[in-house]
Every structure is written in structure tokens, then in C-alpha cells.
Amino acid sequence: MEKSRKKFTDILDKAVATANTMQCDELLFSYKGILYPATFCSLEVFRAMESFEARSDDIILAGYPKSGTNWVGQILSDLVAIFEKKMKNKESSVNDDELEEFPYFEIGDARKYERMNKLPSPRLMFTHLLPEILPTSVFKNKAKILLLIRNPKDVATSFYHFSNAISPFPSYDTWDDFFAAFMTKKMPWGCYFEYLSAWNKYAAAENVMVLSYEELKENPVQGVKNIADFFGICLTEKELQSVVERSSFQSMKKNSQKTHGALGNVFFRKGGVSDWKNLFSEDQNEKMDKAFDKHIRGTKLGTKLKYEIYCKV
């Protein structure tokens, strides 16, 4: 396994091992009214975060948990690698393993941001955070943000299976219990509808590109092209094909032991659209449709989600 991936899987494994020794009610903590998993995030890290100085050429992938962040993260990592190879001779550059940070912005130790301030551009980071929790320099300095959204019914379905498969997240006896928690703001990283509403305020900014899981699934070649264009990365036809192939669900699942260790199968479950139809009752459909209407319908993100296509029976 590459050394840098080993750092990533070590953090995951450590979080799982720690969570195995904890009581269910210790798994989450609250910061500014939002819950976070205590084995991944901490108050010290949140406090240290403001010292991070964003740059206009930073590449930030923002997405609520289970929106496909590992998928689009793979695409962005490959695009950045292609860009760097073209821009400079990376082989003779500094030792990448030493520079590697856990890719999620809010996960790590409190010194992380000091180290990141010294990293060369372009820096790539992923985040599940609400925009108002991110350091103010992200918006002031116009870091480039790829905002990934997914239809809320599949997000809930994916989050349910994930929560029950990984010990750092509270597990649920039944889907009905999970659904009630999802709809009443008890999820780590907050309520998805509030997340969409909050990010919608930034959706039209020039430094933000909005991408939906479903559009990428429908046409991955066009999706990768659009992402590369947004970040100003030129691709040959061969490079484009290789990024698309390496990020296909089949390739990522096959490679998942290497990239995500023992949790590979948990991160790469079904990778499709409409699995919610296997779980949602009529009443739950109605409740979520109403919440969508109340919070998101008619907004830029709401339109982008194509709710009528992906979330109606």
C-alpha cells in the first residue's frame, strides 16, 4: 500500500478501534449546534481551523456525508496529479508522503492548519462542513469550491447503511428510527436540508461549481470534463478516459481494500441511484417531499437536484 494511503487508513482504523470502546452516547459531540463524530473531529481542531489561510487556487470539495465525496475525491486527486505532472517535475520535488494530510479538512490534529499553510499549491481538501463553519478566508480569498449534492432520499439511504456498518457513528435498530433522526437534525454534520439551504447562498458564486451525483452517474465523461474545465486543467483524451475509468464504481470498489483498508466495502456499497425505493414507506416519502418543498424547492440547488426525476415514486 502506498505510504500516503496508509496514513489515511490508519486514521480510519484508529477511529473504529476507539469507537468500539465507547458508549453510544459518547460517539457524537456538538459544536455550534451541529453534531460531529468524536473519533474524527474535536473542539481543538475546530478552534485551530480559523488559522488556516485559504488561497484562490485551493481546490475544495464540499459535500454532505454520503453524497459521493470519495468518488469525486478520486477524480480530483487524479486531476491534480495530472496537473502537477505537467506543471513541474514532481519526481524531483519534496517528499509527498511527508506532506500528506488526511484529506478531510475538519479531521486531523490541531497543528494540521499550520502545516497546511506551508504546503505548495494547489492544495486539495474535502469537507462535509457547513459554509459558516469553514474559515472565513475560504470565501474572502475565493478558494475554488466544487459543491457536490445528491438526492436526499439516496443520501438518507446510504447514510443509514453506513451508520450501521461503522462504529464511530451511532447505529439504529430500524430504518424507521434512522429516518426519524435524519429528519430531526440528529445526524453528524447536521441536517441535510439545512446544509443545502446554507450552501445554496454560495451556489451562484463564480468560485463555486455545483455538481450532482446523479449527473455524474449519467455522464461521467462530461462530468469529469466539466470539473477539469472549472479548475483550468487541460486533459488529453487518454487522460480523460483514464480518470473516468479509475473513478468508476467497479474500479474503486475493486481497489477499496488498498484505498480504504478494512472499511473498503462500507464506503463502496451499491453506487447507484434510487436505492431509497427499497426503504422508504409512503408516509416517509410524503414527509421528505414536504421537507424538500419547505427548504429547497425553487432554489438553485433544488432545481439542480431534479427531485421530480430522482425522488418521486
Q: Annotated active-site positions, please?
A: 128
CA 24 – CA 264 distance, rounded (Å) = 23
- Cα 136–chain centre separation: 20
- Determine the Cα–Cα distance for residues 227 and 245; give it in Å rounded to an integer: 15
- DSSP string covering 65-124: TTSSHHHHHHHHHHHHHHHHHHHS-GGGSS-HHHH---SBTTSS-TTHHHHHHTSPSSPE
Would you count residue 142 as binding ligand A3P (CB under 6 A)?
no
Residues numbered 35-94 forming contacts with ligand A3P, rule: CB under 6 A: 63, 65-71
Cα separation, 198 vs 104, whole angstroms: 19
Q: Kindly state whether residue 246 participates in binding ligand A3P, applying the rule CB under 6 A.
A: no
> By CB under 6 A, which span of 92-100, 111-119, 246-254, 288-296 interacts with ligand A3P?
246-254
The distance of closest approach from Cβ of residue 151 to ligand A3P in the complex, given in angstroms and rounded to an integer, is 10
Residue (40 or 48) nearer to ligand A3P, CB? 40
Q: What distance in Å separates the CA atoms of residue 264 and residue 268, rounded to the nearest whole number?
A: 6
104 binds ligand A3P (CB under 6 A): no
Cell numbers for 169, please give them: 457513528
* Residue 158 interacting with ligand A3P (CB under 6 A): yes
Applying CB under 6 A, the site for ligand A3P has a residue count of: 21
Whether the ω angle into residue 122 lies within 30 degrees of 0, i.e. cis, is yes
271 belongs to the binding site for ligand A3P (CB under 6 A): yes
Minimum separation from the CB atom of position 271 to ligand A3P (A): 3
We find the least distance from the C-beta atom of residue 102 to ligand A3P, in angstroms, to be: 15
Residues that bind ligand A3P (CB under 6 A): 63, 65-71, 154, 158, 161, 247-249, 252, 267-271, 275
